Amino acid sequence: MTEISSETRFLHATEMGLGAWQWGDRVVWQYGHGYSAEEVRQAFQASVAEGVRFVDTAEVYGNGRSERLLGQFVKETDQPVLVATKFFPLPWRFGKGAFVRALKASLARLNMESIDLYQIHWPSPLISMDTMMEGLAECIKNGLTRTVGVSNFGPSRMVAAYSTLARHDVPLASNQVHYSLLNRAVEKDGTLARCNELGIRLIAYSPLEKGLLTGKYSVDSPPPGSRGRMFPNLLPRLGPLLKLMTEIGQDHGGKSNSQVALNWTICKGALPIPGAKNAAQALENAGGLGWRLTDEEMARLDEASDAVVKS
Ligand SMILES: NC(=O)c1ccc[n+]([C@@H]2O[C@H](COP(=O)([O-])OP(=O)(O)OC[C@H]3O[C@@H](n4cnc5c(N)ncnc54)[C@H](OP(=O)(O)O)[C@@H]3O)[C@@H](O)[C@H]2O)c1
């Protein structure tokens, strides 16, 4: 494995984060129905109190509302909080200057001088790898972010990003990708292995599979809104995996399914960033930290997850 660079070491020392897509989003998460700014403030405060001090947002979450809320919450706490946001490659954004301009706009919403991690949200066929990586390197050179990363990059694109950034003497800090007990593509396509080899932190998004792994949804009680239509194949097959997660959680003093799902991603070597709409969810998720599933339990969970995804 490549030695982890000193600039990105803080990410490897971070075991769990908090996702902030829910904060202001009405398309998938129905912000304003059942939860609002006060509930997400409490989710932030509960996470920070439990030692979760890394928050992931993006300029597109709630059209900037997520960044604004996070900026307010960070100002209200006396604890240090690590902040990550993302650049969205909109079709009219071309040259490397677009990255510095977009990050400055994010910083204005966050009401901050700089952040800890700036990520490219999705790869784009319209912007070359050289331009993307030059744009990210410029953000570091301008003192706007401590480190840079990518998101939704497959293994070959990620390695190309790593090598291109290296020409600017900048380490690729992270790749944020979908990873949960119900989506293990990154294990199978080599992304996780390449991350480990190159010292890139794999940040696991949707680690609770948008709520499915908590055990509260079923065919008879699907998730609300657009999420209700996202899992036609998974919902009917979840039963045996959820049952095993509950059994294993009980052997660890009553850990919930959410806590087992999050601990599983940590044991795989990833940094999960579960989204939370309120303090109760944030508190429960923080309980995914501070203990370890055994190798034998991991093997049983892998087998049960394979059975759901392959059946
Ligand atoms: N880079 C990307 O392209 C990308 C894509 C997706 C997400 N992300 C990031 O990853 C973060 C997490 O992913 P995600 O938000 O898609 O999904 P997730 O973390 O798998 O699920 C979050 C949802 O599950 C439910 N939940 C969370 N904790 C719970 C608990 N303890 N008990 C019961 N229900 C609970 C809540 O929704 P309900 O209460 O409504 O069920 C919550 O909104 C996002 O916030 C975002 O920062 C990035």
pLDDT digits (tens, 9 = 90+) for 52-99: 999 999 999 999 999 999 999 999 999 999 999 999 999 888 889 999
Sequence length of the chain is 311
Share of the chain above pLDDT 90, in %: 93
In ligand 1, the atom with minimum distance to the C-alpha of 211 is 24
Laid out side by side, the sheet with 54-56 consists of 18-19, 54-56, 82-87, 115-120, 145-151, 172-178, 201-205, 271-272
Q: How far is the CA of 170 from the centre of ligand 1 (A)?
A: 30
- The pLDDT assigned to 1 comes to 62
Q: Give the pLDDT confidence score for residue 23 in this predicted structure.
A: 97
Q: Which pLDDT score is estimated for 29?
A: 96
Q: Which residue's alpha carbon is nearest to atom 40 within ligand 1?
A: 29
- For residue 224, the ligand 1 atom closest to its alpha carbon is 40
- Which one of the listed residues 31, 35, 61, 205 is annotated catalytic? 61
Give every residue of the chain whose pLDDT is below 70, as ranges: 1, 311
Pocket of ligand 1 (CB under 6 A): 19-22, 29, 56, 121, 151-152, 176, 205-211, 214, 216, 223, 258, 273-277, 281, 284-285
- Those residues whose C-beta lies under 8 Å from the C-beta of residue 20, and which sit 6 or more positions away, are 40, 55, 56, 57, 61, 66, 69, 70, 275
Cα angle, residue 267 at apex, residues 296 and 54 outer, rounded to 5° = 160
Choose among 175, 207, 147: nearest CA to 5.
Answer: 147
pTM exceeding the 0.85 threshold for the entire prediction: yes
**Distance, CA of 261 to CA of 215 (rounded, Å):** 10
SS3 (DSSP) at 232: coil
Structure tokens at 25: 């989003």
* Residue closest by Cα to atom 14 of ligand 1: 206
- Based on DSSP, count helices (H) and strands (E) in the chain, helices before strands: 12, 8
For residue 259, which of 286, 230, 288, 281 has the smallest C-alpha distance?
A: 288
Indicate the top mutation candidate among 277, 283, 284, 289 to test ligand 1's pocket, ranked by most ligand atoms within 8 A of CB.
277
- Percent of the chain residues past pLDDT 70, beyond the cut: 99
> Could you tell me whether strands 201-205 and 172-178 are parallel, antiparallel, or unpaired per DSSP bridges?
parallel
| Distance (Å, whole) CA 133 – CA 219 | 44
Active site residue 35: no
Distance 19 CA to ligand 1 centre (A): 7
Task: Calculate how far, in angstroms, residue 166's C-alpha sits from the geometric centre of ligand 1.
Answer: 32
